[in-house]
Structure 1
Amino acid sequence: MTRGGRAGATDPVDDATLALLLEVAGTPKPGNVDRRRDLADLRFEAFLGGAVGARPGLELAAEAGANAGDPPGVGDAFERAVAGMADRAGTNTQFGCLLLLVPLVRAAADPERELSREGVDAVCRSTTVDDAVAFYRAFEHVDVAVDDPPPGADDLDVRRGSDAEPAVREREIPLRDVLALSPDPGDPETMEDRVPDRNAQEWTEGFPRTFRAAEWILTDEGPLADRAARAFLGLLAAEPDTLVASTLDAETAREASGRARAILESDAGDPSGPVGDVSGVDADAVHGGDLKAAESLAEAFVAEGINPGTTADLTCAALFVALRRGAEVAP
């Protein structure tokens, strides 16, 4: 159901906050915290607190989009959102969600842009060196699982936090270019096996996963939280999850995607791996995703320590786009 033709009529900050809440409320999202299950070190209510705490940063993102002159930058908005999240949740609950939401909110709030792949890509391409410095500072508020930087970029390792500022300024590297360092799938010469950083890919590719999954949500039926859970399965079936690869290994990440794909394609036997690209996931398969079967997978993933957190980030971003385009929580 949509807002009776009033798509985008609400405040983008309200929709971003609601997207954060709906993402964690969607269940089952195999391996993730949801309204029915906690993880050993992370509880459902921490995500509710993180969503509330992030709001001042999201408001800053909307201000950067709506005001002329010299508004706050995307990087400052992101750091503020992460700091508020960490203060209220007491831990890292939605770092990746906020990395995606901040440019989306800015695009939605900017009267000279629109919430489209082109609009958000323009926001990302307009980022500055100061945005990059603020992005590095955000890593001082929380612990974030990340891979090692590519060769020759040790001085730009995000784990250095604000200590990386001299290198960022010396190289004059804006935020989008920092994120462009991350999606590298591996070194073909050494055959290093890496799963690309999906959130960084969104920033550099114009958010294809976000807008594709938003279409799944908009054309699905039933409660938004259930639609979000099915979209999560679709995204996981499409590509291996970055966080799973970072915390476990690439092979486990691919196997996890294959298990999600098997739920979506239950009549096709037991698929051996992910689809390979989000555009290859059929919307009808997503809409027919068996959430009862996903419950069993959720229990298995929790027991095995498989936590597809990057897929949850993408689901949150997709929920925001869907809300801006008319999806609503009313029955």
Structure 2
Amino acid sequence: MDPVFVGKCAQIASVLEVSGHPKPGNVHRTQDFSDMAFEDFLLSGIAIGNIMAKTASKGFDLRKTPEKWGKIGLGNLILEAVTETDRWVANNTNLGIIMLLTPICAAAGMTNNINDLRSKIDQILRLTTPKDAVHLYQSINIADAGGMGEQEELDVGSDSSTQKLLDENINMFHVLEMSSEWDCLSYELTHQMPVTFDLGFPLFNKIKTKHGINIATVQTFLTILSKVPDTLISRKYGEKKAKEVSLQAKSVLEEGGILTENGKKLLEQFDQRLIENDLNPGTTADFTASSIMINYLNNYKEYKI
């Protein structure tokens, strides 16, 4: 796919995700947090566009030489996107989104066929290098988003970890694999992105066709949350609390979610309940963004002139 198109899809996915209203427990167009505003997320989504296009260009250049895919520099591209975001906003607004969208962009640069993306994403990630892992650690520290390695020996906050990654030849895929037991974003990246491709993308596509973008965004978010306990919540409050939130999301969906009047009323109450209790399903937002991006990549034929 054309790298410029891919970069625009990344921007679109980022800004549509945060614009979803009322997306429960998260910043949206009528709701800010005390330390970050709706506009911060818009800035973040726009800021990464050129780097996502650059990532797609790297994928395009290496598309015929799979043995060189380790030279894409996926970790460094993630680091560039996080660094660029940090120039525009004060807090971590999009690390998870960047981690999901960067390999998608690299794969999209290699093919026009949406059905080829998953296998290419998996190959790209498996062929990452220890330097990619080091750059990922640096990205996490810039974004101040711990948790990727806190439960293992290779703690992202430890100064000795980055050298150990190089000394023991541990690449980025293996780092994510180690944290996949407790981090659903890491699981997503090491298992061919099942939430994005099997759940979020087809649902968003179906609802968008019938009901438009906002309703599709919110219903996709709510559905993912109902099925996948959010890592950000479990990290802060424990797995039990994350599962409770997922059950609450499921109960809202059973009343129709945003698709019905009663469901929408319950959704708004759910949103405020999460906000009042500082329960932020941030990883669910990341999955929603990646699902939206695949939908727009799927429209590539319509984009071509």
TM superposition score normalised by structure 1: 0.81
Quote the offset at 1:116 in angstroms.
Answer: 2.9
Aligned-partner residue type, residue 169 of structure 1 = L
Q: Deviations over 1:247-304 (max 9, x none)?
A: 12211111100000001113xxxxxxxxxxxxxxxxxx67847333211110111001
Quote the offset at 1:237 in angstroms.
Answer: 0.3
Quick check: 59-68 or 295-304, which moved more?
59-68
Distance 1:112 1:246, change over 3 A: same
What is the aligned partner in structure 1 of residue 281 from structure 2?
308
Quick check: 59-68 or 305-314, which moved more?
59-68
1:158 aligns with 2:156: yes
1:204 aligns with 2:215: no
Q: How does 1:205-244 map to 2 (within 5 A)?
A: 205-211=191-197, 212-220=199-207, 221-244=210-233
Cα distance between partner residues in 2 of 1:35 and 1:10: 27
Cα distance between partner residues in 2 of 1:323 and 1:16: 9
Quote the offset at 1:53 in angstroms.
Answer: 2.1
Quick check: 198-207 or 107-116, which moved more?
107-116
Cα distance between partner residues in 2 of 1:263 and 1:29: 12
Quote the offset at 1:117 in angstroms.
Answer: 2.1
Q: Paired residue for 2:173, among 168, 173, 176?
A: 176
Aligned-partner residue type, residue 204 of structure 2 = I
Distance 1:217 1:206, change over 3 A: same
Quick check: 141-150 or 221-230, which moved more?
141-150
SS in 2 for 1:158: coil
Instruction: Write 1 or 2 for the structure with the bigger share of helix.
Output: 2
SS in 2 for 1:110: coil
Percent identity between matched residues is 28
Q: Paired residue for 1:22, among 16, 19, 30?
A: 16
SS in 2 for 1:92: coil
Q: Deviations over 1:134-167 (max 9, x none)?
A: 11111232211426634xx42x11223x652210
- Whether contact under 8 Å (2:13, 2:292) holds in the other structure is yes
TM superposition score normalised by structure 2: 0.87
Quote the offset at 1:10 in angstroms.
Answer: 7.0
| RMSD of aligned alpha carbons | 2.4
Aligned-partner residue type, residue 41 of structure 1 = D
SS in 2 for 1:37: coil
What is the aligned partner in structure 2 of residue 187 from structure 1?
none
Distance 1:89 1:236, change over 3 A: same
Distance 1:126 1:72, change over 3 A: closer
What is the aligned partner in structure 1 of residue 83 from structure 2?
83
Cα distance between partner residues in 2 of 1:9 and 1:107: 11
Q: How does 1:1-331 map to 2 (within 5 A)?
A: 11-68=5-62, 72-111=72-111, 115-146=116-147, 149-150=150-151, 153-154=152-153, 156-160=154-158, 163-184=160-181, 196-211=182-197, 212-220=199-207, 221-266=210-255, 288=259, 290-326=263-299
Cα distance between partner residues in 2 of 1:302 and 1:230: 18
Kindly tell me the number of residue pairs found equivalent between the two proteins. Answer: 289
- Whether contact under 8 Å (2:51, 2:77) holds in the other structure is yes
Cα distance between partner residues in 1 of 2:215 and 2:157: 35
Distance 1:182 1:88, change over 3 A: same
Cα distance between partner residues in 2 of 1:286 and 1:168: 45
Quick check: 75-84 or 125-134, which moved more?
125-134
Residue ranges of structure 1 left out of the alignment (5+ in a row)? 1-6, 185-195, 267-284
Quote the offset at 1:52 in angstroms.
Answer: 2.1
SS in 1 for 2:143: coil
Cα distance between partner residues in 1 of 2:224 and 2:60: 31
Quote the offset at 1:113 in angstroms.
Answer: 7.7
Aligned-partner residue type, residue 81 of structure 1 = A
Cα distance between partner residues in 2 of 1:133 and 1:148: 12
